[in-house]
Structure 1
Amino acid sequence: MSVRDVVSGDPLLVAGFDAFARHGFKRATMADIAAAAGMSRPALYLRVKNKEDVMRAVGAALLADSITRARAAADDETGDIATRVVAVLEAKLGLTLGLAERSEHALELLAEYGRVATSEAAQYTAEVERLTARVLAATDAGADRCAVIATALVRTVQGLETELDDAQRARKLLTALVDTTVAGLTRS
């Protein structure tokens, strides 16, 4: 499913996503969003106060989908530990890479979402870390150690999210890092 498909159930979210993807957050206007949604600007303002509200709503939908995929990966006990950890982290990395496929403004949009929805973005990151630590705990490395390593892995994913020009390389680096990390934990 593409990142745009995630918001497809609500014309306002589709319009906001498309306007932000096309123009970036700073250049997108409420007029752009209203026109794309097939609404008048007064009708748009009945649903949202400003484009920050639109950004929060679009971002919330994307993060909810990403967390659903991360939870499913963490809960899938048929795969080995490394595969499950990669899948949890790929839910986060894939969101950014998918956004980059649709927009040259991906990094700006992520930064703006972090600005307008600081606590939501922090909660999302904390949940990805928690899920990663939970899967790593199957190595019997100890909860505290797994939590620290999960934080390090998520921070690494955040770094990989800046490599938008080569998604395949970013995914390959993630897999190599997780494989090495899990191998080290299982030997301990």
Structure 2
Amino acid sequence: MATDRLDEVLDATYDCLTRYGVRRTTMDDIATTMGMSRSAVYQYVRSKDDAFRQLAGRLHDEVLVRARQAAADQDAPYTERIRGVLAVKLDLVLELSTASPHTAELLDAEARLFGGVCTAFTAALRRLLIGLFTETGTAEGVDPAEAADIAIALVIGMENMPDARRLLGPASGALTAGLLGATVVVR
């Protein structure tokens, strides 16, 4: 039951983020959004910063679950599994970038509050990709860790492109063809 209330606090924190941004949101805003007193909110989070840090962690963790599912899909070819891991990262960025002018703050790896969350998330995606490239094998002269770094760089480069979701398929297909040293059919 406490987890449900924490989720409500984090949902209210997200709502306040979309309206005010991190700096302008107060604990009173979060409490008002929930219909609770500020002291009641403090039962679930230590501070406004803690609420935002936990919110960023929750969002990144949810996406990481989807990335792990994509990587583990034994019925899909490696190219689709790799694209699936990349797609969830791209989707997170696009969703947070378009939800409000403020929600992209949760993606800032340089931010004091979220830097660790963002860095850990990217490191986890990198490990998933290294595992996939290790399993399938990479082209001669390409190390699985290098292949993972290149794949992540592709997605980061696409984050601000118009029509990025549509372009991810052809881009990841071309990329994996080169990294795997094979001909890949792009859908």
TM-score range, shorter chain: 0.7 to 0.9
- 2: CA distance between counterparts of 1:47 and 1:53? 10
Q: Show the counterpart of 1:182.
A: 176
Q: Show the counterpart of 1:3.
A: none
Contact 2:5 2:44 in 1 (8 A): no
Measure how far apart 1:45 and its partner are: 2.5
The percent of aligned pairs where both chains have the same amino acid is 34
What amino acid is aligned across from residue 173 of structure 2 in structure 1?
D
Q: Show the counterpart of 2:84.
A: 87
Q: In the alignment, which of 22, 27, 51 is matched to residue 25 of structure 1?
A: 22
Measure how far apart 1:87 and its partner are: 0.6
Q: Show the counterpart of 2:10.
A: 13
Give unmatched runs, 5+ long, in structure 1.
Answer: 1-6
Partner deviation per Cα, 1:42-91 (whole Å, 9 max, x = no partner): 22233323221111111111111111100000000211222111111111
| Rg comparison, structure with higher value | 2
Contact 2:19 2:100 in 1 (8 A): yes
What amino acid is aligned across from residue 37 of structure 1 in structure 2?
M
Structure 1 range deviating more: 109-118 or 61-70? 109-118
Contact 2:147 2:179 in 1 (8 A): no
- 2: CA distance between counterparts of 1:10 and 1:29? 18
Closer/same/farther in 2, CA of residues 93 and 56 from structure 1, 3 Å limit: same
Give unmatched runs, 5+ long, in structure 2.
Answer: 183-187
- 2: CA distance between counterparts of 1:84 and 1:112? 25
Closer/same/farther in 2, CA of residues 47 and 107 from structure 1, 3 Å limit: same
Q: Show the counterpart of 1:4.
A: none
Whose helix proportion is higher, 1 or 2? 1
Measure how far apart 1:18 and its partner are: 0.6
What amino acid is aligned across from residue 161 of structure 1 in structure 2?
E
- 2: CA distance between counterparts of 1:120 and 1:131? 17
SS at match of 1:104: coil
TM alignment of 1:153-164, pairs within 5 A? 153-163=151-161
- 1: CA distance between counterparts of 2:5 and 2:11? 6
Contact 2:107 2:118 in 1 (8 A): no
Measure how far apart 1:138 and its partner are: 3.7
Normalising by structure 2, report the TM-score.
0.83
Partner deviation per Cα, 1:149-172 (whole Å, 9 max, x = no partner): 211221332233334xx3xx1123
CA RMSD of aligned residues (A): 2.5
SS at match of 1:175: helix
Give the number of equivalent residue pairs.
178
Relative contact order, higher structure (CA 8 A, sep 6+): 1
Q: Show the counterpart of 2:53.
A: 56
Structure 1 range deviating more: 173-182 or 125-134? 173-182
